[in-house]
Amino acid sequence: MNKPNSDKSRLIIIGNGMVGHHLVEQLVESGATGSYRITVFGEERHPAYDRVHLSEYFAGRDAASLALSTADYYAEHGIELCLHEAVTGIDRDKGEVVTPQGRYAYDRLVLATGSYPFVPPIPGNDRPNCLVYRTLDDLDAIRAAAEHANTGVVVGGGLLGLEAANALRGLNLETAVVEFAPRLMPMQVDTEGGELLREKIEALGVQVLTGRATQHIEDGQASFHRMVFQDDKVLETDLIVFSAGIRPRDELARDCGLEMGERGGVVVDDHCLTSDPAILAVGEVAVWNNSVFGLVGPGYQMAKAAAATLTEGELTFQGADMSTKLKLMGVDVGSIGDAHGDRTPGARVFRYLDQIKQQYRKMVVSSDGKKLLGAMLVGDNSYYDTLMQYYDNGLALPDQPECLILPASEGGTPTLGADALPDTATLCSCHNVTKGAVCAAIDAGASDLGAVKAETKASTGCGGCAALLKSVVDHELEARGVEVDKSICEHFAHTRQALYSIVRVEGIRTFSELIEKHGSPDTRGLGCDICKPAVASILASCFNEPITDAAHVPLQDTNDTFMANMQKNGTYSVVPRIPGGEITSDKLVVLGQVAQKYHLYTKITGGQRIDLFGARLEDLPDIWSELIDAGFETGHAYGKSLRTVKSCVGSTWCRYGVQDSVGMAIHLENRYKGLRSPHKIKFAVSGCTRECAEAQSKDVGVIATENGWNLYVCGNGGMRPRHAELLATDLDDETLVKYIDRFLMFYVRTADRLQRTSVWRENLEGGLDYLKEVILDDSLGLGDELEAQMRSVIDSYECEWANAIKDPEKLKRFRSFVNDARPDPDIIVTEERGQLRPA
């Protein structure tokens, strides 16, 4: 048994997860390390890490980037951190915990053991490649198993189940989700929301099987496993991940005789004390008022209460709201309060369902319609913050409550201004930060968002309150007479929009001239990684000079500098333009020959082009030359510019097509292919309302009608999907192009740096109605000017690959070493599925 080396009380914390680590932080901040000698046990080999973003481990993040702290932090504050050392018993009579390495005495003990994944008692659940999704080691095991698998099944369609399904999909497995309940996420969404969620998940290529109970798992015929369901139907798969819920890790508490909850977990009071006053419990192992809280926010609040108990403070745990705002596989899901409306007698319900945009919103209100009791969102969480404030702070609802979930075009008013929130409004539920605490931090000297976050810890948990926090901080700073600095960077006291106007009005054509005339006096010089690419984009948008000219090339990032996308092993990908996805057989042959000659990995992209990966820097000019000789040109895949115009086959081939979508797609791609913009732009043209080209998920979407074209704008897929909005209907070809000209140039003129059209639209005062006035009605009188600017861009287009290969000075950049013509020896490849990929 270890011996005390001071007069301090001995505090042991069992568990080094997110909540256990947060307790350590609270104790450090309160100065408790002066009165306690703290030892922390973690059974994992990794220090505390962010489980909320665990799925990002498969997207390239490593254990270090997910870590919440370091061993140095613990050592700096005199805290002993024992990793990979599981506590196997608690001897309450002797006041000791037991591990395989020895016995450790305690005066106070905290259980922060969390939970474990529940594996249903299905015969065969212990077969090889039957795994769980909980820890980094679990994820390593899943990744290793996936290397020899083609298919994967997740048992459980809740929050963690869909996270696991996304992980399997990211490992290139054909993925299915099996859920016992009749819908996905049954705790968070109702029948309508579950059906919409199912549609969106299936659209991503994941099979969804609900109402299925697995009876047993046996050897498969075509795959490793066969799952047999209650109706004798079967599903074969190579890999099974169980993610059917969690259970408290309460075996230590149970074995040492602490009072337990009816369904497991150790019972605690408001001070987080167990039935033994020397022992506390926090997080998912704790049962408070017959409830177990499975979210990080309530766990953090318990940690604060436990820290107060250990330091004789007054803070107690009074329960926590289980409202959640999630993005699962790119799909927004939100749940607030009594989302099902089954906990309050007399509750009334408002529902909004848009099956075209795939959005579902539901509000549960009191019988008199004055208070919000709960809400449910699927497909669009932009309404969440406003609804949460009404719910969390008991704000009186508007006279027409339905306006809170209706789109603005239908009379909705989905935003609640920062000035309307009371000081008691909770902005960050993870750290229980109120608007009043934010205001106090500002009054104490926090003069920007970063300082407020550092002072209050707001938005440092799950991050779901980031947008609301910024809104409140900006409003409160402005209310105090503090000018909110929206400068692009320290080198220019201007926004991106202001710099664009300066360049246009004064005809400035180089960065050096711009920074000399309009740079901040104290910081003039070479610029930075923020302002240089932004100015490069502005100059290209205005004058469309080659980005590789001597005056412009120092401003570009790596991809623009070499006109190809750098990959993780230092090679580049080459993407020639294939307008509308239409390509001749001769050109297909050339692509194959080039790929074969230069040992390139080939892949068909989502934008109907062919991507050639693995090109060495010194080979790029030769590859471009061969492609140009065959009639190709740069596809601008490396630039903040027009990428692709996707199309279906339209009336040329399809029996449902009503317009020539391929011809229109080619026309639009060739028209706008040289346009540089604040962010990348994607188009699509569908030949009928069946929408095979997915035009409503693009920055500019065109859908054929019997009478012409419908124009949609400001949609995007990716990290934050947004459906495009209908700008105009039944347009002829000429009017369609005119409106697109105006729309694109208005966006280029007024958007912020690196701002997608979707985000620009959401921040546009007046919304879609204002955009219609500007583009369709020419309310600002800018129509002719915007069209003229677009004509100038179109007239000055030149293929950037062709421009580079005809200039010997530019070609000098295409070598791995300045003083050596040899290729980069550090580029190592291996073969997979018949092609070369990075080793």
Among 81-90, 302-311, 323-332, 412-421, which is the least confidently predicted range?
412-421
**Domains contained in the chain, number:** 6
Task: From 292, 267, 264, 290, select the one nearest 279 (Cα to Cα).
Answer: 267
Identify the pLDDT of residue 2: 43
In a domain, 571, yes or no: no
* Shared domain check, 201 and 62: no
Report pLDDT digits (tens) over 644-700: 999 999 998 888 899 999 999 999 999 999 899 999 999 999 999 889 999 999 999
In a domain, 586, yes or no: no
Per-residue DSSP letter, 633: -
Identify the pLDDT of residue 824: 63
Report the run of H or E that residue 500 belongs to, with start and end: helix 496-506
pLDDT at residue 169 tops 90: no
* Shared domain check, 333 and 282: no
* Shared domain check, 223 and 123: yes
In a domain, 156, yes or no: yes
* Shared domain check, 743 and 677: yes
Q: How confident is the model at residue 287 (pLDDT cuts 50, 70, 90)?
A: very high
* Shared domain check, 216 and 168: yes
Among 139-153, 501-515, 754-768, which is the least confidently predicted range?
754-768
pLDDT at residue 4 tops 50: no
CATH number at residue 446: 1.10.10.1100
SS3 300: helix
Higher pLDDT, 764 or 173: 173
Most confident of 75-84, 478-487, 765-774: 75-84
CATH number at residue 215: 3.50.50.60
Structural domain containing residue 767: 640-806
Among 163-167, 788-792, 834-838, which is the least confidently predicted range?
834-838
Identify the pLDDT of residue 1: 40
SS3 247: strand
Identify the pLDDT of residue 646: 94
Per-residue DSSP letter, 45: S
Identify the pLDDT of residue 99: 96
Identify the pLDDT of residue 461: 66
Identify the pLDDT of residue 475: 83
Q: How confident is the model at residue 828 (pLDDT cuts 50, 70, 90)?
A: low
SS3 685: strand
Identify the pLDDT of residue 795: 93
Identify the pLDDT of residue 736: 97
Average pLDDT value over all residues in the chain:
88
In a domain, 356, yes or no: yes
- Could you identify the residue written with the tokens 């605490």? 437
* Shared domain check, 258 and 110: yes
Which of residues 244, 269, 293 is at a domain's end? 244
* Shared domain check, 411 and 431: no
Contact status, residue 814 vs residue 618, Cβ threshold 8 Å: yes
pLDDT at residue 493 tops 90: no
Q: How confident is the model at residue 489 (pLDDT cuts 50, 70, 90)?
A: confident
Report pLDDT digits (tens) over 207-266: 999 999 999 999 999 999 999 999 889 999 999 999 988 899 999 999 999 999 998 999
CA atoms of 413 and 68, how far apart (whole Å):
38
Report the chain's terminal Cα–Cα distance, integer Å.
Answer: 49
Among 75-89, 418-432, 531-545, 642-656, which is the least confidently predicted range?
418-432
- Could you identify the residue written with the tokens 């035009």? 695
Identify the pLDDT of residue 711: 96
Bridge partners (DSSP) of residue 219 are: 225
Percent of the chain whose predicted confidence (pLDDT) is above 90: 53
* Shared domain check, 301 and 173: no
In a domain, 838, yes or no: no
State the pairing for strand pair 108-111/279-281. Answer: parallel
pLDDT at residue 85 tops 70: yes
pTM of structure: 0.56
Query: What mean pLDDT comes out for the span 460-481?
Result: 76
Contact status, residue 197 vs residue 377, Cβ threshold 8 Å: no
Per-residue DSSP letter, 541: H
* Shared domain check, 781 and 678: yes
Query: What mean pLDDT comes out for the span 576-589?
Result: 93
pLDDT at residue 322 tops 90: no
In a domain, 599, yes or no: no
- DSSP for 548-579, please give it: TSTTTGGGS-HHHHHTSEE-TTS-EEE-B--G
In a domain, 562, yes or no: no
* Shared domain check, 438 and 524: no
Identify the pLDDT of residue 242: 95
- How many Cβ atoms from other residues are within 10 Å of residue 399's Cβ? 8
